[in-house]
Amino acid sequence: MIGMTGTRGQTKNGAGYMVYRDVAYVPSGGPLQSMDIYIPDGAAPEGGWPAVAYAHGGGFVAGDKANEGQSLRFPLQAIDHGIAMLSLNYRLPGREPEHIAMELADIQAALRYLKDHAEELGINKDKIASMGASAGGALVCAAATRAKKEGEASVAAVVSIASATDVTGAADDVDRDTPPFFIIHGTADSVVGIGQAEKLAAALQSAAVPYIFQAVEGGEHTRPIDHPNTLTLLEEQNKLEEAILWLKGILASVQS
């Protein structure tokens, strides 16, 4: 990492990494337009580390990239499999359409930054995926489905976790240029109904886009205050790794 000072850390499973915090993806954008960059220990593969950009949840009005709770532990598992992880902040002005547009613009700006600065960050610009939970999931899904038509940075794959995709209309923008999806959603989600995930899956199927749909029986929303929540059940069932291994396989197949 050029010109940056990092701190050491390790995943729940013991894999080591360096984290570089508060990297601005918008000049003078402030802490809500910055990211934390987690780079696995060891030598990078030729061409740089594959990477996944993660957007936190919080109902479009709350949350933070450095939250060490359960939802951040999930994308950090990518480190265990040699994938860099980039945890994104984005502005949180509210839930009105104009506010959502600002938040989506931040996700798009972060992905552009990653593509433009991949070499100095030590990542492979062709092997960047995205992941998001709830509100963050809605934003990364929309960024992925709109990328080609809006001339924005594309991603190689998307992991969607309990995503509020109706808010961003992500399913309506699915076409044959949409990347592969791994969709995770609890059947008992009372905050974001599973019907939103089903609508997205149907759109992907109609466009012949590869996807996996992991419906979590009895799973509530992603917040730890909801019991049993979707991520807790997946963790208890040792299924979280399935999504990471799927992501690893997709990124490995991308030609640089």
Read off the pLDDT of residues 41-69 as tens digits, 9 standing for 90 and up: 999 999 999 999 999 999 999 999 998 66
Tally the residues of the chain.
256
- Indicate if the pLDDT at residue 103 is higher than 90: yes
pLDDT reported for residue 95: 94
Which residues are CB-neighbours of 136 under 8 A, at least 6 positions away? 54, 55, 56, 57, 58, 63, 88, 90, 163
- Report the alpha-carbon distance of residue 197 to residue 185 in Å, rounded: 7
Distance CA 26, CA 55 (A): 16
Mean pLDDT for the stretch of residues 103-116: 98
Given phi > 0 = left and psi -120 to 50 = alpha, else beta, which region is 81? alpha
Measured distance CA(209)–CA(154) in Å, rounded: 15
β-pairing verdict for 49-55 and 34-40:
unpaired
Q: How far apart (Å, rounded) are the C-alpha atoms in residues 45 and 254?
A: 13
Report pLDDT for 68.
Answer: 64
The answer to whether residues 67 and 53 touch, using CB atoms and an 8 Å cutoff, is: no
CA distance 240 to 102: 31
**What mean pLDDT is reported for the chain?**
94
Mean pLDDT check: name the lowest of 89-98, 133-142, 162-171, 222-231. Answer: 222-231
The pLDDT confidence band at residue 119, using thresholds 50, 70 and 90, is very high
Q: Is 23 exposed, middle or buried (0-12, 13-18, 19+ CB in 10 A)?
A: middle
pLDDT digits (tens, 9 = 90+) for 184-213: 999 999 999 999 999 999 999 999 999 999
Range with lowest mean pLDDT among 23-27, 206-210, 220-224: 220-224
- The answer, yes or no, to whether residue 159 has pLDDT greater than 90, is yes
Residue pointed to by tokens 């790794």 = 241
> Phi/psi zone of residue 134: left (φ > 0), alpha (ψ -120 to 50 degrees), beta?
left
pTM: 0.96
Side-chain half-sphere CA neighbours of 230 within 13 A? 27
* pLDDT above 70 for 1: no
Lowest mean pLDDT among 8-12, 26-30, 93-97, 111-115: 26-30
Residue 140 pLDDT > 90: yes
Name 182's bridge partners: 159, 212
- Judged against a pLDDT cut of 90, whether residue 224 lies above it is answered with no
